[in-house]
Structure 1
């Protein structure tokens, strides 16, 4: 079996924690990584406080195959992610000529003021991540990828990063409609199926639709045979509970 490849995501920014900015990156990154065979195992959100960023980076980069960060690499005083990552790795940080060259594709030399040059400050030993949208690069140091918080820029950076990543087996997910059955009726049986099929995870997700209340059961796993067996067991459970033998 292919060894799992794991990841964590660190969202950086006071604006996320105060609610001023509504995060649009977590769901996108989770779906993207799942699709290429990387398991997103943890997400943290921290404020623009160096000590908090350093602690989170050092905790997460040692726990998972990869750590992705978003936010805090712009031109203002509170954009401190690059400095914090440098401190976490114990390396120097300075204006990087490679990053300056990228910024010059967008800005005239006279427009590259001190604030904009902050976006060219890169920790020593880091590789740059191209930014085709606004030219200010992200960077990779060891297993940590530092990306912009602006969704369109983050997405372009993720496209650049993806071909360089190790990947594992892709997740298989099967959705089963629990038509007409509330969770409280099938919960006990579903727990028994989950215990009997340890190679998969099984979740139940209620929601409201245009036609009323709806329950969906999702079986997830990386072994196709294990997923198929668990799905069959769920179908059997629902048929028994419906008591009419009708197709589910």
Structure 2
């Protein structure tokens, strides 16, 4: 069986760390990577500090088959991701002529030095273009640099996606029970995990109104093993006197 490619996500931006902005990009990227059989192994959030960005990029691009970054490629003084990627690769940060021409033609007199920053990339970078934004992301080596704004990031990812490697799709199966307590199933769940070592088995408490419960989720590339593990988890829930329900619980109202 072909080994599944691995990936990490690097979220860059003080606004995430301050709590001012809630990140929703990780969930989107994680789900799309799973569909392609790419194992998301690490997610890291760092500030707009050049040394931190350069260090994290070099560490993560060496550790995984690919690295996705979000944030920090806009026109303002704190958008320093692009130049930091250039520093990480040891190449010049320079105006990408084709992108510069396209943006200048579209913006005319509004195309100033600040906006030209968004057409400036590491030498050798390949733009990630999309309909949602005139300013592109870019790829260099195994690093894919995208915007932090979710709608733009999603469009850029959709543009990039066909070029990404594929592995065995990562599937998921789930079962949950209202009124179930984690403490009552912990030992039994551990035994199931031992029997299905190649499956990632987790338990996730939730609350719906006045009643709580637990969802058990199995993830992996071996679908028969996932289904067998969930069948045993279903029996484990039933043994607690709780009615098991296939799938994850409905969203909180």
Same structural fold, with TM-score higher than 0.5 when normalized by the shorter chain: yes
Normalising by the residue count of structure 2, what TM-score does the alignment of the two structures yield? 0.91
- The structural deviation recorded for 1:240 is 3.3
1:63-82 to 2 correspondences below 5 Å: 63-82=63-82
Counterpart residue number, 2:161: 162
Query: How many corresponding residue pairs?
Result: 245
Counterpart residue number, 2:100: 100
Contact 1:11–1:46 under 8 Å retained in 2: yes
Counterpart residue number, 1:134: 133
Query: Aligned equivalents of 1:186 and 1:177: distance in 2?
Result: 12
Normalising by the residue count of structure 1, what TM-score does the alignment of the two structures yield? 0.93
1:192-228 per-position Cα deviation (integer Å, ceiling 9, x unaligned): 1111110111111111114611211111121112112
Query: Aligned equivalents of 2:18 and 2:240: distance in 1?
Result: 46
1:142-162 per-position Cα deviation (integer Å, ceiling 9, x unaligned): 100011111111010000010
Query: Aligned equivalents of 1:247 and 1:164: distance in 2?
Result: 41
Query: Aligned equivalents of 1:202 and 1:156: distance in 2?
Result: 32
Give secondary structure in 1 for the equivalent of 2:135.
Answer: coil
Query: Aligned equivalents of 1:235 and 1:111: distance in 2?
Result: 61
- Deviating beyond 2 angstroms after TM superposition, the runs of 4 or more aligned structure 1 residues are 178-181, 235-243
Contact 2:126–2:140 under 8 Å retained in 1: yes
Matched, 1:195 2:194: yes
Structure 1 unaligned runs (5+)?
Answer: none
RMSD in angstroms over aligned alpha carbons? 1.7
